[in-house]
Structure 1
Amino acid sequence: MADRDTPLYMIGVAAQLAGVHPQTLRIYEQKGLVTPQRTSGNTRMYSQADIERLELINELTSEGINLAGVIRILDLKGRIDERDKEIDDLHKKVRRLADRVHELETRENVTALMLPEPRAIRRLN
């Protein structure tokens, strides 16, 4: 399956998939709501992630939220997504550190079992 950010759709197809007019996509781009990639010939190319974003914009505007509100919501959603990724990364680090601590504790326990008891060392002296 292609990456969600791979540009796949020209403006007409993207508009149809998103359920809007191509001119609406141009307006959304002007307002910074969506930023399609461009070909060397300057043709707009939309990814699956862009289509999903356009669907969310449609949902919000159909609920009566104006474009300024949509911009704010998308900004906050982006921040939340970034924090979620940071939290996931931190969870992975904690798991790796916990595994490493467990490994070191196991080594320490094995080493302690292999060493003679202190009383046995005293008797040898």
Structure 2
Amino acid sequence: MEDRNRPLYMIGVAAKLAGVHPQTLRIYEQKGLVTPQRSSGNTRMYSQADIDRLELINELTAEGINLAGVIRILDLKGRLEERDEEIDSLHKKVRRLADRVHELETRADVTALMLPEPTAIRRIDR
């Protein structure tokens, strides 16, 4: 979802969408809660992902969580998302390996069917 990260909104529009004052966005940026991209003219440009993050910050602060708590929650949320991506990647690797094992087992079965039957070795008692 790269589109969610595309810078679309200047600070005034972003503030309206997020339901906060533009100065609040500047404070959030100073505290590291949001990091808008910058245009070539150094104008803050917010993406839809930034707006979603600002809405979450609003929800958390409305519940009485202070900004230090919000920072901690967002950090943990980011780590959890990274772990989820890592787990998804590992699941894909396991599926690929399982497919490969199945393929090799099938080849081995086919090869075994193509081999001539072993001849019985007679034991001659003297």
TM-score band by shorter chain is over 0.9
The 3-state SS of whatever aligns with 2:53 is helix
- List 4+ stretches of structure 1 deviating above 2 A: none
**TM-score after normalising by structure 2:** 0.93
Deviations, residues 61-120 of structure 1 (Å, cap 9, x unaligned): 000000000000000000000000000000000000000000000000001001111127
Q: What fraction of aligned residue pairs are identical, expressed as a percent?
A: 88
- Number of residue-to-residue matches in the alignment: 122
Task: Report the secondary structure of 1:45's partner residue.
Answer: strand
Structure 2: runs of 5+ lacking an equivalent:
none
In structure 1, the residue corresponding to 2:3 is in which secondary structure?
Answer: coil
What is aligned with 2:113?
113
Q: Distance in 2 between matches of 1:50 and 1:110?
A: 56
Aligned pairs for 1:27-106 within 5 A:
27-106=27-106
**Which deviates more from structure 2 when the two are superposed, residues 1-10 or residues 38-47?**
1-10
- Please tell me whether Structure 1 or Structure 2 has the larger radius of gyration of its CA atoms: 2
- Cα RMSD, aligned residues only: 1.5
Q: Deviations over 1:6-41 (max 9, x none)?
A: 101100111111111111000000000000000110
Matched AA of 2:112 = A
